[in-house]
Structure 1
Amino acid sequence: MFGVTVRHFTEADIPVRTALLRESRFQANLTDFAVVAEDDALAAGQRRTLEQEHAVKRIFTLCGPEDRIVGFAWITSIDWRSQSCELSFGVLPQYRGGFGAIAVAAAHEYLRTELNMRVVINQVLEHNTMLHSAEALAAEQRVRCPYDSYTVGEWRTSYYWSTTEDDIRRYRERTETRRREIAERIRARRAV
């Protein structure tokens, strides 16, 4: 679904994710811990997540056509009882324009259908417009948190919002309504 598949992160994916963690635009939009960490420490942290932290943190690999890795999604603050988690993601630079929004949608779908998550908490730094415009971010946010993160030598403001099953249902209804309206306009033009 969505043209992007989600699979469990494996040890073979660590070098690709490490390169993403070190990419400058990614660093400015999430965290800069990869700047100060050695390759071995970054790999060890990802291995630890795979081997020991599955109950509280998971990493997923987002794949496009021909199983090419287009990015990664990871969930933290997992509350299995409440069926909630916080979702983060990173799309490889060469796929941001083409697969970014599709990858995020696929991750949300996977969390709902495969992990039975009912509430997903989203966080985006205010200046991060890689997948959202500044206007869309401001409209989406429910909580604005100044001084939330310190990245690339600067305090950053974050926006937080939740996505629930009702939100997804309403989004799908709006999308379907919009699709029908466009189809009707096309049919009306052809009839003339």
Structure 2
Amino acid sequence: MPIVTVRHFTEEDIPLRTELLREARFTANLTDFAVGAGDDGLIARQHRTITEEHRTKRMFTLCGPRGRVMGFAWITSIDWRAQRCELSFGVLPRDRGLGALAVYAVHKHLRDELNMRVIVNQVLTHNTMFLSAEALEAQHQVRCERDSYTVGEWRTACYWTLSDEDVRKHEASAGQRRRELAERIRARIEARS
């Protein structure tokens, strides 16, 4: 059973996501549109996404053990024909240690349930909540200076795609590493016997 599951975002999730959108670290690392919006406007915007914008934007709720909400993900720039989208997410402060598992769960959900074949990822370079600066530098394919204006500053963003081919290569590589590790362990055990 997976540690993180993904479900559709509902009206009941709006208050908790609103809190996250106003959290200082989230605001500094993704977007500050919530800072200038009143509660009614922010709630209306999320409600509109649920009821009117499914063709171009979808939101999801990330759940941990026993269905406890741990964060949210949303896709934008959806191209249904090309099977592409841009992924964003925010994990609640208490669960940020599980961020990598959340990212994996969302990617799997988008591929398995929505049939997305290419997922565009974006991280602002100063955001090291899930990726270290070194990992981000090694992973990105495009670096865009002055991409986003948040918390009174222009921010640089790194973008990269994750295609079906990339996923297959990663899974094959991970499987090979597991087999090599198992073989080394077997060899050590046999050497001691």
Band of TM-score, shorter chain: over 0.9
1:100 aligned residue: 99
Distance 1:110 1:65 in 2: 17
2:132 aligned residue: 133
What is the DSSP-based 3-state SS (H/G/I as helix, E as strand, rest coil) of the residue aligned with 1:35?
A: coil
Shift of 1:174: 1.3
2:110 aligned residue: 111
Letter in 2 for 1:46: Q
What is the DSSP-based 3-state SS (H/G/I as helix, E as strand, rest coil) of the residue aligned with 2:127?
A: coil
1:121 pairs with 2:120? yes
Shift of 1:188: 2.1
Distance 1:180 1:128 in 2: 34
State the TM-score, normalizing by the size of structure 1.
Answer: 0.97
Distance 1:138 1:37 in 2: 33
CA contact (8 A) 1:2 1:105 kept: no
4+ long deviations beyond 4 Å: none
1:18-167 equivalences under 5 Å are 18-97=18-97, 99-167=98-166
2:185 aligned residue: 186
1:170 aligned residue: 169
Letter in 1 for 2:18: T
Letter in 2 for 1:111: L
CA offsets per residue over residues 87-128 of structure 1, 9 Å max, x none? 00011111111x200100010011111001111010000111
CA contact (8 A) 1:75 1:85 kept: yes
Shift of 1:186: 1.9
State the TM-score, normalizing by the size of structure 2.
Answer: 0.96
Letter in 2 for 1:182: L
For these two proteins, the number of residue pairs brought into alignment is 191
User: Any stretches of 5+ residues in structure 2 without a counterpart?
Assistant: none
Letter in 1 for 2:53: E
- Pairwise CA RMSD: 0.9
Distance 1:40 1:123 in 2: 28
2:11 aligned residue: 11
Identity %: 66
Letter in 1 for 2:36: V
Distance 2:185 2:28 in 1: 43
Shift of 1:189: 2.2
What is the DSSP-based 3-state SS (H/G/I as helix, E as strand, rest coil) of the residue aligned with 1:44?
A: helix
Distance 1:129 1:28 in 2: 11
User: Any stretches of 5+ residues in structure 1 without a counterpart?
Assistant: none
